[in-house]
């Protein structure tokens, strides 16, 4: 499988909406699927659930709705916030019953070198991968107050 196809298989698109000063705001971004094993700390998730990681700055207010879809699909699924760490700009989402078996594989700690080529698909909340297709990080942060 080509690297771009592998990356696309576990990268998801998000659409979230929330109320801000009586106006409805929609935000869009990317996230990627994590392996859902039953050794997690979250007892509320089942093996059949999809767990996604994304940037926390997409949710400055508690979202009224979160919808996610794969890059190669037009059908949206409902998601909910599982955990949020604003300090780390990280949010975990869960999509009940949607575990598709495609998830990111992380590289070993300390296996990145300064001259290594890294690839990224999407925007904040999307994975940064090495040329072997393993996740080395997640794109986070803001630029002049706008999500990257």
Distance separating alpha carbons of residues 70 and 92, to the nearest angstrom: 16
58 is a domain residue: yes
User: Quick one: pLDDT at residue 109?
Assistant: 75
What length is written for the chain? 148
Do residues 19 and 42 touch, judged by C-beta distance below 8 A? no
42 is a domain residue: no
DSSP string for 59-72: -SS--SEEEEEETT
Tens digit of each residue's pLDDT (9 = 90 or more) over 61-106: 677 788 998 887 888 999 988 888 888 888 888 888 887 777 777 7
Q: Which residue has the higher pLDDT, 9 or 66?
A: 66
Q: Does the structure show a pLDDT above 80 at 141? A: no
Q: Across residues 26-53, what is the average pLDDT?
A: 75
Q: Which residues form the domain of 135?
A: 3-37+47-147
16 is a domain residue: yes
Burial of 8 (0-12, 13-18, 19+ CB in 10 A): middle
137 is a domain residue: yes
User: Quick one: pLDDT at residue 146?
Assistant: 47
User: Quick one: pLDDT at residue 148?
Assistant: 46
State what percent of residues in the chain have pLDDT above 70. 86
Q: Which helix (H) or strand (E) holds 128?
A: strand 127-130
> Domains in the chain: how many in total?
1
CATH code for the domain in which residue 118 is found: 2.40.10.120
């Amino acid at each position: 499988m080509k690297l771009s196809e592998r990356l696309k298989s576990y990268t998801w698109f998000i659409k979230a909406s929330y109320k801000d000063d009586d106006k409805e705001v929609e935000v869009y971004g990317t996230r990627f699927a994590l392996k859902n094993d039953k050794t997690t700390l979250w007892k509320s998730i089942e093996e059949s659930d999809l767990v996604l990681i994304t940037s926390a700055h997409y949710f400055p207010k508690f979202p009224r709705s979160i919808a996610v879809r794969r890059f190669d699909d037009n059908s949206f699924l409902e998601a909910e916030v599982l955990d949020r760490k604003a300090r780390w700009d990280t949010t975990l989402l869960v999509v009940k019953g949607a575990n598709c078996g495609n998830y990111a594989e992380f590289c070993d700690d300390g296996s990145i070198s300064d001259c290594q080529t890294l690839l990224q698909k999407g925007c904040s909340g999307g994975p940064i991968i090495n040329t072997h297709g393993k996740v080395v990080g997640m794109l986070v942060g803001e630029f002049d107050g706008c999500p990257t």
